[in-house]
Amino acid sequence: MMILSGDRPRSRILSVLLLVIVVALAVTPFVFPGAKAMNVATKICIFAALVASYDLLLGYTGTVSFAHTMFFGIGSYAVAIALYAIGPSWGAVAAGLAIGLPLAALLALGIGLFSLRVEAIFFAMITLAVASAFLVLASQLSWLTGGEDGRSFTLPELLRPGTVFIPKNVLGTAITGRTLTYYIVLVGSAAMILGLLRVVNSPFGRVLQAIRENRFRAEALGFRTVFHLTYANCLAAVVAASAGALNALWLRYTGPDTTLSFAIMLDILLMVVIGGMGTIYGAVVGAAVFILAENYLQSLMGAASTAAADAGLPLLPGLLHPDRWLLWLGLLFIASVYFFPTGIVGRLREMARPQAEG
C-alpha cells in the first residue's frame, strides 16, 4: 500500500490498535462530544504528529534535540500573533503559516549546519541553549507575545464554536465551527504522519538510518551526512511548527506553558520512547497511551480509591488517591521501558516476527 509507503504495521495487534485509535479519533465529535473528550482527542492528534516528527530525529537519525518544543512554539505563536494582530481572517492564518514555517526551517537549518558536523552531544547542548533562550525571549517580549499571559485571539468565523452548520440532529450532536476545527486538526495531523512515513521510507530516509547505524561508514560511501541530518532537522522543525499552528487554532490561545515549556519536551520524549523509537507508528500509539493516561488515570484512580475505601481495605485508598497519579504514571513509564525497551510498537513487531517466518 503506497499510502503507508510500503512500511506496514507488521503486527496484527498493532494494526488493530492503530485502526481503533484512528476510528476512535474520527468519530469522537459524534460519540464523545464532551469538551474534555474533544480536548483529549485533539491533543492526541497534535502530539502524534509532533512526536512523529521528533521520531524522525531521535529514532531515525539518533540525534537528540531539546529544541522541538521551540519549533512547536514558533508555529503556535506565529498563527496566534498573526490572528491577534491582523484580526480573525483566513489571511491572518495564512500569514502566520507563511512566517512561522519558514522561520522554523531557517532556525533549524542554522542550528543544524552549525552543530551537526560534530558530535551528537554538542547538538543536544546547542538545542537546549537555543530553546532556553527562545523561552526567555517569548516571555519577555510582551508587546509581541503577550509575555507569560500569552495571546488569546479570535478565530475566523468558520472555525468559531458559535458557527453552527447543522443544528443538533446528527446523532444528537450539532456540527459547529468547533467540529470543523477538529477535523482540520485530525486531517492535518494524519497528513503529516503519513508524510513522515513516506520520508523515512524514501531513499533519503534510508540514508538517515545508515547515519544512525554508522555515520563514519555513511561518509565513506560518499553521503554528506551533515546535509542529510540538517534536512531531517529542518523537516522535523516544519512539521513541529505545523503541529503548533494546529494547536493554536484549537486552543484559541498560545502561551509559554502550552507550547514552549520543558515539561512538554519531556512528554514528547516519553511518548516516543513508550511508543517505540524509529517506527513513526510508535508516535501514534505513544501519544494515545500517554495522553489517555494523563487525562483519565486520575478519575480511574479516584474510582478505585473510593471502591477500596468502601471495601475497607487498608493502605490502598491512600495509594490510589487521585493526587498520587503522577506516582503511578511514573511507575507505568518505568514498567513500560523495562518490559518494552523497544517501545510498544517494537515489542508488538517482535511478537509478530516468529509467526511470519514460521
Partner 1 sequence: MTSTLETSNLTIRFGGHVAVNKVSCTFRPGELTAIVGPNGAGKTTYFNLISGQLRASEGRVLFDGTDLTKQSAPQRTRAGLGRAFQLTNLFPNLSVAENVRLAVQAHRGVHYDMLRPWMVRRDLIERADAILDSVALSSRRDVAATALSHGDQRKLEVALMMALEPKVFMFDEPTAGMSVDEVPVVLDLISKLKQDSSKIILLVEHKMDVVRSLADRIIVLHNGQLVADGKPEEVIASPIVQEAYLGIAPGRSAA
Q: How far apart are CA 114 and CA 91, in angstroms?
A: 34
- C-beta closer to partner 1: residue 168 or 217: 217
The residue to which cell 514460521 is assigned: 358
| Grid cell for residue 97 | 503559516
| Grid cell for residue 219 | 561518509
- C-beta closer to partner 1: residue 198 or 252: 198
Q: How far apart are CA 336 and CA 266, in angstroms?
A: 16
Minimum Å distance from CB 228 to partner 1?
7
Phi first, then psi, for residue 128 (nearest 5°) are: -60, -45
DSSP element (H, E) containing 176: strand 173-176
| Grid cell for residue 161 | 464554536
- C-beta closer to partner 1: residue 6 or 102: 6
- C-beta closer to partner 1: residue 212 or 324: 212
Beta strands in the chain (DSSP E): 151-152, 164-170, 173-176, 253-254
Q: How far apart are CA 82 and CA 97, in angstroms?
A: 9
Minimum Å distance from CB 205 to partner 1?
7
Minimum Å distance from CB 357 to partner 1?
10
- C-beta closer to partner 1: residue 175 or 211: 211
Distances (CA, A) of 90 to 80, 154, 159: 12, 11, 10
Minimum Å distance from CB 213 to partner 1?
4
Q: How far apart are CA 2 and CA 14, in angstroms?
A: 19
Minimum Å distance from CB 141 to partner 1?
35
Minimum Å distance from CB 192 to partner 1?
14
| Grid cell for residue 43 | 491533543
- C-beta closer to partner 1: residue 207 or 308: 207
Neighbours of 121 (CB within 10 A): 9
- C-beta closer to partner 1: residue 162 or 358: 358
DSSP for 81-131, written as a single string: HHHHHH-SSHHHHHHHHHHHHHHHHHHHHHHHHHHSSS-HHHHHHHHHHHH
Site residues (vs partner 1, CB under 8 A): 2, 5-7, 198-199, 201-207, 209-210, 213-214, 216-225, 227-228, 231, 235
Give the helix ranges, DSSP H, for 252-280. Answer: 256-259, 262-275
Q: Give the three-class secondary structure for 142.
A: helix
Report how many helices (DSSP H) and strands (DSSP E) the chain contains, helices first: 16, 4
- C-beta closer to partner 1: residue 6 or 167: 6
Minimum Å distance from CB 336 to partner 1?
22
Q: How far apart are CA 268 and CA 290, in angstroms?
A: 10
Q: Give the three-class secondary structure for 151.
A: strand
Minimum Å distance from CB 222 to partner 1?
4
- C-beta closer to partner 1: residue 60 or 77: 60
Minimum Å distance from CB 221 to partner 1?
4
